[in-house]
Chains A and B, each alone.
Chain A
Amino acid sequence: MNAVKKILILIIISAVIIPLACSSQLLAWISPHDTNPANIFESASIQLAKLANQFNKNNTINITPLKPAEQESPQNITSIQNFKQPEKPYRVLIMGDSFAAVAGGFGDILEQKLVIMNDINVLRRGKVSSGLSRPDYFDWQTESTNLIQEFQPNVAIIMMGANDAQPLEVYQNGNKKYLKYGTPEWDAEYSQRVKLFITRLINNNIKVYWVGLPTMKNAEYAKKIHHINELVEAVVKENPYATYLSAEKLLANQDGTSYSAFLPDEKGVMRATRIDDGIHLTFFSGTILVNKIIDILDQDLNIKN
């Protein structure tokens, strides 16, 4: 058989068999934000993966049962117990999505600044593409429980939500149901998940600081993120032991609202606030946020002395 026929057979069989055999990997790789309708090959590979999943009933991707947060949690999680103010030495837990995970954004700069202070231990746990919407991909509720046990923090700083504007999968009356983003049901379920997340921390005497997401460059995405920020802020503000820092306001344009690609530094030189994607922060804007959160921590907990 000649070389051309050989490579054709190999590559065509590979292009069909590999997506079928690795369907779970394939579906995990394709984020709902990134799907490109013009990419016919991506659509075809998704169809193949879905076909494989139909045949494989044991496949767990996308079908992890999840009850609504309210049902899942015992009453003592959603209500605040007696809270003890944290004392030195502080054990600071930083959690979040790519804002916490990826170098040069927010989490690592915060860790760099805190770790050199006296009486502060820091643990940063970031997971790219994670959030509270997709526990089948990464379950922050379980992760935070484990981190509380392992690290025993008394301060938590959270920045997440950038991947959360997507359908929520819940089980109601034994049936799987998807709550569409933009509906009151979605808002209620998401707020409940945020509440569960925060309350678990507070019940373990962990003071919570939630850093909201900055305004995004893409207008449609920015609207969604703004709404998520509103929901989170509302939940945080219900709680006396949690503080919300608005990155939208801190990194806003001079009019205080819209996306600002540049902000002046201390010398008045305009510096970029975002990397190429119009989402993630540059070292400069990350430092603005970090300095602000450190000021707030210092006011509350006197961390600089």
Chain B
Amino acid sequence: MLFGTFDFLMFLAAVIALNWLLKPYPLIWRLFLLIASVYFYALIDIKYVTLLAGASLITFILGLLISNKRSKASKPAFIIGIIVNLGLLFIYKYYDFFRISVESCFASFNLKLTFPYWEIIAPIGISFFSFRMLSYLIDLNRQKYKAETSLLDFLIYCFFFPYLLAGPITRANEFLPQLKNGGAKTINKLEPSVTLFFVGLFKKLVLSTWLSSALLINDVFAVPEQFSSLAILAAILGYAFVIYCDFSGYSDMAIACANFLGFELSPNFLFPYRANSIGEFWRRWHISFYKWMLDYLYIPLGGNRVSKFRSYLNVLIVFIASGLWHGAALHYLIWGLWHGLGLTIERAWSNLKNVNTFLKKSLTGFLGWLITFIFVVFGWIFFKAENMERAFAVIKGLGQWHKSANTLSVSIIIIAVLIALFIFFEQKIIEFINKIQTLMPISVWLLFWISLGIIIYKLAPNTIPPFIYFSF
């Protein structure tokens, strides 16, 4: 069951109805939330329910030990908790890459070193799950809040279906107090949440999939040698919008679903392609992840409180780690490094004192936006390409002006431009929809959204589009 499928719509309807029906009975309501979330996950990946449940249980027990600072077990419990959750991530995401790299390295020197190998299939959402567990343990160790004492509540936090598969990476101190209070007594910001849900659905089912197929993005990135510079450029630009629509569409739906159940989650995307600097881009793109990296990696490394050179190094470390979080491959590392270098240069530039203030100011306006946009879009080449060899083939292909652009029709270019405009003006469009909703009588309001829902599904492709971020 994936967000946006027809069965998910039915599941959501049933869960929302029962959620509000059972809310007056706290224990039954909590049990219901847990069962619904586990059922949701089991339908996608039943093999790993016990694994996540086991990791959750261990984290819960260790959390209790960490929270008791007078106990001698506090520090070892913290270390064990970090090892367990990082270990989980390592085994499922990085072990095979590590094994092959080390064995190949030894083999190059005619030495034989063999690690055990086995089929490792990463549970969907493992990166997001591990990061939530790690943030919980680190926060407890920092005594930011007390450990959760109710196993049921903690398991709900671990399995809560709206954010379980692909975030936002919700912190325990954001979610658990809401759960303790029984969630909101009504749905706050109903109209904006409904808009968020349908805009997310539209971005995912229609915009992302249409752009992918119309601009032949997968084909262009696989064999750029076959395409003209214009087609490659369109595919690179298109991919920038595809990944945004795909991931932000999922996040929008997740946040809206949580809100329908009476929980408020922080936004994960704030119109990132409107950013005027790389720093601003990262404050708008996958916000929960960026904040996680700041709080749990950048600041412990010293953050800005160290020498300039060291703080630049910290930025690079954080972004290389961010790249590798997406997958154990060189092209993800390079993508992270690209952003790290960009941010480092940006910081160094803003620290320069002898630069003309006019020049500095002009870089915060349109020129800043343009540079940021081109920088981010170029970075997506490394992210999307299968490997570095393909990434360089794409970059090389940008110079193939001799080839005819026979894959791009005028109508495709016009629709792609309209989609780009939608994304650039998304905030205004959402504000407009929110405004007109409040003026609608209930019957018109229902008709409006149901009609829109039907149109979205009618425009959707004829196979279920998978979410890009599920694989991370």
Q: Show the binding face of A for B, using Cβ within 8 Å.
A: 1-4, 6-15, 17-19, 21-22, 25-26, 28-29, 36, 38-39, 41-42, 44-45, 49, 102-104, 108, 111-112, 115-116, 122, 124, 128-129, 137, 261-262, 267-272, 274, 276, 278, 283
Question: Judging by beta carbons under 8 Å apart, are B450 and A18 in contact?
Answer: yes
- Interface-lining segment among B55-63, B128-136, B216-224, B310-318: B216-224
Contact between chains at A7 and B187 (CB < 8 Å): yes
Shortest Cβ distance from residue A275 to the other chain B in the assembled complex, whole angstroms: 9
A41, A124, A274: the one contacting B8 at CB < 8 Å is: A41
A112 to B7, CA, bound (A): 39
Task: Tell me whether B405 is interfacial, beta carbon within 8 Å.
Answer: no
Q: How far is the CA of A103 from the CA of B10 in the complex (A)?
A: 33
B207-240 CB contact bits vs A (8 Å, 1 = yes)? Answer: 0000000000011011101100000000000000
Report B-chain residues with C-beta under 8 Å of the C-beta of A278.
119
Q: Can you identify 18 A-B contacts, CB atoms within 8 angstroms?
A: A3-B186, A4-B186, A6-B445, A8-B20, A13-B450, A18-B6, A18-B9, A18-B450, A22-B454, A25-B458, A25-B462, A38-B46, A42-B6, A42-B7, A103-B218, A124-B219, A267-B104, A276-B122
Q: How many A-B residue pairs have CB under 8 A?
A: 150
A108 to B458, CA, bound (A): 30
Assuming the A-B contacts A18-B9, A36-B43, are A4 and B226 also in contact, with contact meaning beta carbons closer than 8 angstroms in the complex? Answer: no
Distance in Å from the Cβ of A48 to the closest Cβ of chain B?
A: 8
B453 in contact with A18 (CB, 8 Å): yes
Q: Give the distance to chain B from A135, nearest Cβ to Cβ, in Å.
A: 14
Question: Is B367 part of the contact surface with A, judged by Cβ < 8 Å?
Answer: no
Most chain B Cβ neighbours within 10 Å, of A12, A25, A261 = A25
Query: B16 to A7, Cβ gap below 8 A?
Result: yes
Cβ B108 vs Cβ A267 within 8 A: yes
Cβ-defined contact, B5 with A29, below 8 A: yes
CB pair A12 B6 closer than 8 Å: no
Q: Decide if B117 is an interface residue (CB 8 Å cutoff).
A: yes
Inside 8 A of B96's CB, which chain A residues have their CB? 272
Known: A262-B117, A276-B121. A17 touches B7 (CB 8 A): no
Please determine whether A45 and B446 come into contact, CB atoms closer than 8 angstroms. no
Minimal beta-carbon separation of A43 from chain B (angstroms): 8
Chain B residues, Cβ within 8 Å of A19: 6, 9-10
Report yes or no: A2 in contact with B226, Cβ–Cβ below 8 A: no
A261 touches B119 (CB 8 A): yes
Q: Is the CB of B187 within 8 A of A4?
A: yes
Give bound CA distance, A190 to B330, whole Å: 44
Query: CA–CA, A119 to B51, complex, Å?
Result: 54
Q: How far is the CA of A263 from the CA of B82 in the complex (A)?
A: 34
- The reply to whether A11 and B12 contact each other, CB–CB distance below 8 Å, is yes
Is B449 part of the binding interface, using a Cβ–Cβ cutoff of 8 Å? Answer: yes
- Count chain A CB atoms within 10 A of each CB in B96, B188, B445, B454 and give the residue with the most: B454
List 14 additional A-B contacts (Cβ < 8 Å) besides A6-B445, A7-B187.
Answer: A3-B188, A8-B16, A22-B457, A26-B6, A29-B462, A36-B43, A41-B7, A41-B10, A103-B218, A115-B225, A115-B226, A269-B100, A269-B103, A274-B119
- Are B12 and A15 within 8 A (Cβ)? yes
Minimal Cβ-Cβ distance residue in B for A11: B13
B386 sits at the interface (CB 8 A):
yes
Instruction: Say whether B453 contacts A7, CB under 8 Å.
Output: no
Q: Does B41 contact A (CB under 8 A)?
A: no
B17 x A41 contact (CB < 8 A): no
Contacting residues, chain A, for B7 (C-beta < 8 A): 39, 41-42, 44-45
Is A1 in contact with B442, judged by CB distance below 8 angstroms?
Answer: yes
Chain A residue numbers with a CB within 8 Å of B445 are: 6, 10
Find chain B residues with CB under 8 A from A112 CB: 222-223, 225
From B1, B17, B194, B454, A8 is in contact (CB under 8 Å) with B17
Assembly CA distance A262 to B122 (angstroms) = 17
Taking a contact as CB atoms under 8 Å apart, the answer to whether A3 and B187 are in contact is yes
Q: Report which of A7, A13, A103 forms a contact with B221, defined as CB distance below 8 A.
A: A103
Q: Which of A3, A13, A18, A115 contacts B223 (CB under 8 A)? A: A115
Cβ–Cβ < 8 Å partners of B119 in chain A: 261-262, 272, 274, 278
- CB–CB A11/B450 < 8 A: no
Is A28's CB under 8 angstroms from B462's CB?
yes
Please tell me the number of chain B residues within 8 Å of chain A, measured between CB atoms. 56
Is B454 touching A21 in the complex (CB atoms < 8 A)?
yes
Majority SS at the chain B contact face: helix
B68 within 8 A of A: no
**Nearest-CB residue, chain B, relative to A265:** B104
Whether a CB of chain A sits under 8 angstroms from the CB of B83 is: no
Which B-chain residue is minimally distant from A17 (CB atoms)? B450
1/0 per residue B85-106: CB within 8 Å of A? 0000000000010001001100
Q: Could you mark each residue 402-445 of chain B with 1 if its beta carbon is under 8 Å from any beta carbon of chain A, else 0?
A: 00000000000000000000000000000000000000001001
Is B335 part of the contact surface with A, judged by Cβ < 8 Å? no
Contact between A29 and B225 (Cβ–Cβ < 8 Å)? Answer: no
Assembled-state Cα–Cα distance A17/B222 (Å): 40
**Contact (Cβ within 8 A) B9 A15:** yes
A128: B residues at CB distance < 8 A: 463
Minimal beta-carbon separation of B219 from chain A (angstroms) = 7
Task: Report how far A36 CA is from B2 CA in the complex, Å.
Answer: 13
| A1-B442, A28-B463 known; A111-B223 Cβ under 8 A | yes
User: What residue in chain B is nearest A270 (Cβ atoms)?
Assistant: B117
Complex CA–CA separation, A45 to B454 (angstroms): 15
- When distances are taken between beta carbons in the complex, the residues of chain B under 8 Å from A276 are 121-122
Say how far B348's CB is from chain A's closest CB, in angstroms: 37
What is the distance, in angstroms, from A119's C-beta to the closest C-beta of chain B?
15
Which residues on the B side are within 8 Å of A49 (C-beta)?
Answer: 6
Is there a chain A Cβ closer than 8 Å to B79's Cβ? no
A173 to B280, CA, bound (A): 68
Interfacial chain A residues near B450, Cβ < 8 Å: 10, 13-14, 17-18
Most chain B CB inside 10 Å of its own CB: which residue of A6, A41, A49, A137: A41
Min Cβ gap A36→B in Å is 6
Interface positions, chain B 1-51, Cβ under 8 Å from A, are 1, 5-14, 16-17, 20, 42-43, 46
Complex: chain A residue closest to B188, CB-CB: A3
- Find out whether the CB atom of A38 lies under 8 angstroms from the CB atom of B42: yes
For B9, the chain A residues whose CB sits under 8 A away are 11, 14-15, 18-19, 45
Contact check, B117 vs A6: say whether CB atoms are below 8 A apart.
no
CB-defined contacts of B442 to chain A, threshold 8 Å = 1, 6, 9
The residue in chain A whose Cβ has the minimal distance to the Cβ of B389 is: A112
User: Is the beta-carbon distance between A4 and B463 smaller than 8 angstroms?
Assistant: no
The answer on a CB contact under 8 Å between B458 and A2 is no
In angstroms, how far is the closest chain A Cβ from the Cβ of B44? 9
- B460 interfacial by beta-carbon distance below 8 Å: yes
Contact with A along B186-211 (1 / 0, CB 8 A): 11101000100000000000000000
B173 CB–A CB distance under 8 Å: no
Q: Across the two chains, which residue of chain A brings its CB closest to B2?
A: A29
Q: Are A18 and B454 in contact (CB under 8 A)?
A: yes
Residue from the list B46, B100, B190, B225 in contact with A3, Cβ < 8 A: B190
- Chain B residues contacting A15 (CB-CB under 8 Å) are 9-10, 12-13
8 closest cross-chain pairs (CB), A and B: A108-B222, A15-B13, A267-B107, A41-B7, A3-B190, A3-B187, A42-B7, A22-B457
